[in-house]
Amino acid sequence: MIEVKIPDIGDFQDVEIIDVLFNVGDRVEPEDELLTLESDKATMPIPCPVGGVISKLHVSVGDRVSEGVLVLELEEDTTGDAPEKAETPSKSESEVMPVPEAGQHKARQESVPDTKPEPVKTGTAAKSIIPPTPERTERSDAIPHASPAVRRFARELGASLHRIRGTGPKGRILKEDVKTWTKQQLEESNKKSAAPGLGIAPMPEIDFSEFGEVEKLFLSRIKKLSGPHLHRSWVSIPHVTHHDEADITNLEDFRRSLKDEAASQGLRITILSFAMKVLVNAMKKFPTFNASLSPNGEELILKKYFNIGIAVDTPNGLVVPVIQNVDRKSIFDLARDLAEVSERARDSKLKPSDLRGGCISISSLGGIGGRGFTPIINAPEVAIIGLSRSKMTPVWNGREFEPRMMLPIDVSYDHRVIDGAEAARFAAHLVHSFSDVRRLAL
């Protein structure tokens, strides 16, 4: 006689039994689940440590147990599967496969092929030949064999237990069966959808050659990779863009004064180098702009480093290499980094490490034109800065109009993390810093 007791279940005491999976006389195998316990924190299956035949049960559904409580008694089963193999065939089986009489043995061999028999559609033999289907058909009259915890789990997922095939003892439906079935249903649903998870109707297919001559160009590899990323960012992040402009007249004068010194080092100082320093200064004052939203949407991860992505236009498409530790570098260091990373980007020599670790990005169209645009956030960042082409504009100073060099600034931000007032204050800080670069030393 073998006694089976509740094993070590940690710190849990007086845990309720919500399901007993075997009865007296049933044969169990090692690791078969005997009971299901449920505490206020978890559902715990209790496996059988050895095999045998249950001779006595000491617990029932609703009992409360702790470690060491006697569950059942087992008798060792020495017959194993022998009785099952020596089972006498039923009447229908003997009709389908009659025992040959003397003199009929040769004819019997000729009439029965050596290959495996085809499935029999009727009779008890069909049950032993036809394998069970992976999914049950919907039946309202049959009660699925599942524990209360599994039933509750299925209800939470909206899964129908009538359609799930159990893989546990005696066809019992386990939690993993519910998960597997639900996952299969989602995958099938996604395959049928033109835009998985978005519910957007597919674009209609149009044969444009009906209207005139056309030419097809294949997208570059960069555009194929960046396209889905941009699409996901645009539809999954609530974008808001704040527009402003900064007076960079004094900054432009200072930049030009550095021209000869930069040329002696083989460098070219642009507004972008100053923009990076201005941006770091603003991120220190407004740390939510240097953050990422956790995948569950419940936490904000604030970053203590300052890496800035720079959108670079290349012949193959847009890439965003990252300049590391901008807060620790001078204007000349940043000009050097910008020149090197832009050259590698145009030559398709960027390494994966060059594209990772960004905190916020800058998209500058100053060399091309435009008065403003709405840059798309480079997720998982929460904001991006857009710079358009600066131009000389008459500005009223209180007494008269005077010519000032104005730089359009666009700040797109994730409205789940940043509200409008904070974005306005952030943009105002950028404007003030651009207007007077001496603020960077404060």
pLDDT tens digits, residue range 326-336?
A: 999 999 999 99
**All residues at 6 or more sequence positions from 432 whose CB lies less than 8 Å from its CB, including other chains:** 439
Q: Is the pLDDT of residue 70 over 70?
A: yes
The per-residue pLDDT for 189 is 67
pLDDT at residue 150, as a whole number:
82
The model's pLDDT over 234-243, given as tens digits with 9 standing for 90+, comes to: 989 999 999 9
Is 348 or 270 the better-scoring residue by pLDDT?
Answer: 270
The pLDDT score that the predictor gives to residue 440 is 79
Question: φ, ψ for residue 342 (rounded to 5)?
Answer: -65, -40
Domain of 31, CATH number, reads 2.40.50.100
Is residue 422 in some structural domain? Answer: yes
Domain assignment present for residue 242? The answer is: yes
The tokens of 48 are what? Answer: 């059988």
Task: Give the CA distances from residue 52 to residues 2, 5, 9, 35, 317, in Å, rounded to whole numbers and listed in that order.
Answer: 9, 15, 23, 16, 68
**Whole-angstrom Cα distance, residue 3 to residue 266?**
85
Query: Predicted confidence band at 310 (pLDDT cuts at 50, 70, 90)?
Result: very high
Out of 45, 75, 105, pick the residue that ends a domain.
75
pLDDT for 98: 43
Among 145, 229, 415, 429, the one annotated catalytic: 415
**Residue 201 included in any domain:** no
Average pLDDT, the chain: 82
Using only C-alpha atoms, the chain has a radius of gyration, in whole angstroms, of: 36
| Residue 415 resides in a domain | yes
Q: What is the pTM of this model?
A: 0.56
Give residue 135's pLDDT. Answer: 47
Final residue of a domain: which of 21, 44, 75? 75
Sequence-distant (≥ 6) Cβ neighbours of residue 356 within 8 angstroms: 322
Instruction: Tell me the pLDDT band of 78, cut-offs 50, 70 and 90.
Output: low
Question: At CB < 8 A and 24+ separation, what contacts does 385-393 make?
Answer: 385/275, 385/279, 385/360, 385/361, 385/409, 385/410, 385/411, 385/430, 386/241, 386/362, 386/410, 386/411, 386/412, 387/271, 387/272, 387/275, 387/362, 387/363, 389/365, 390/248, 390/252, 390/271, 390/366
Is residue 361 one of the residues assigned to a domain?
A: yes
Asked whether the predicted pLDDT for residue 79 surpasses 80, the reply is no
User: Position of tokens 């900054």?
Assistant: 251
> How many beta carbons lie within 10 A of that of residue 364, not counting itself?
20
Is 145 one of the annotated active-site residues of the chain? no
In this predicted model, which residue has the larger pLDDT, 281 or 181? 281
Q: What is the structure's pLDDT at 121?
A: 43
- Report residue 229's pLDDT band, with 50, 70 and 90 as the boundaries: confident
pLDDT for 142 equals 55
Higher per-residue pLDDT: 81 or 345: 345
Are the C-beta atoms of 303 and 290 separated by less than 8 Å?
Answer: yes
Q: What is the pLDDT of residue 168?
A: 86
CATH code assigned at 398: 3.30.559.10
Report yes or no on 88 lying in a domain: no
pLDDT digits (tens, 9 = 90+) for 8-51: 877 678 888 887 888 888 888 887 888 888 765 566 778 888 88
Three-state secondary-structure class, residue 260: helix
* 183 or 359: which leads in pLDDT: 359
User: What are the CA-CA distances from residue 18 to residues 45, 166, 415 (Å)?
Assistant: 10, 18, 46
Task: Please say if the pLDDT value at position 92 is more than 50.
Answer: no
What is the pLDDT averaged over residues 359-369? 92
What's the confidence (pLDDT) of residue 202?
76
Percent of the chain with pLDDT over 90: 42
Cβ(308)–Cβ(275) under 8 Å?
A: no
* 310 or 348: which leads in pLDDT: 310
Q: Check residue 124 and give its pLDDT.
A: 38
pLDDT of 374 reads 95
Please tell me the predicted confidence (pLDDT) of residue 402: 95
| pLDDT score of 91 | 41
pLDDT at 29: 85
Burial 257-270, CB ≥16 within 10 A → b, else e = eeeeebeeeebebb
Position 399 in a domain: yes
Q: Which residue has the higher pLDDT, 246 or 111?
A: 246
Of the two residues 248 and 19, the one the predictor is more confident about is 248
Is residue 145 in some structural domain?
A: no
Q: Which residue has the higher pLDDT, 351 or 267?
A: 267
The better pLDDT of the pair 110, 190 is held by 190
Please say which residue of 30, 48, 75 terminates a domain: 75
Domain boundaries, position 370: 223-441
Residues 6 or more apart whose CB falls under 8 angstroms from that of 22 comprise: 28, 32, 34, 54, 72, 169
Mean pLDDT on 55-63: 89
Count of domains forming the chain: 2
- Say whether pLDDT at 407 is over 90: yes
Average pLDDT over residues 113-141: 43
pLDDT tens digits for range 164-202: 888 888 788 888 898 888 888 887 766 654 444 456 677
Residue 48 and residue 71 in contact, taking contact as beta carbons nearer than 8 Å = no
317 confidence band (pLDDT: 50, 70, 90): confident
Beta bridge partners of 33: 47
The average pLDDT across 69-74 equals 90
CA distance 33 to 312: 60
pLDDT of residue 357: 94
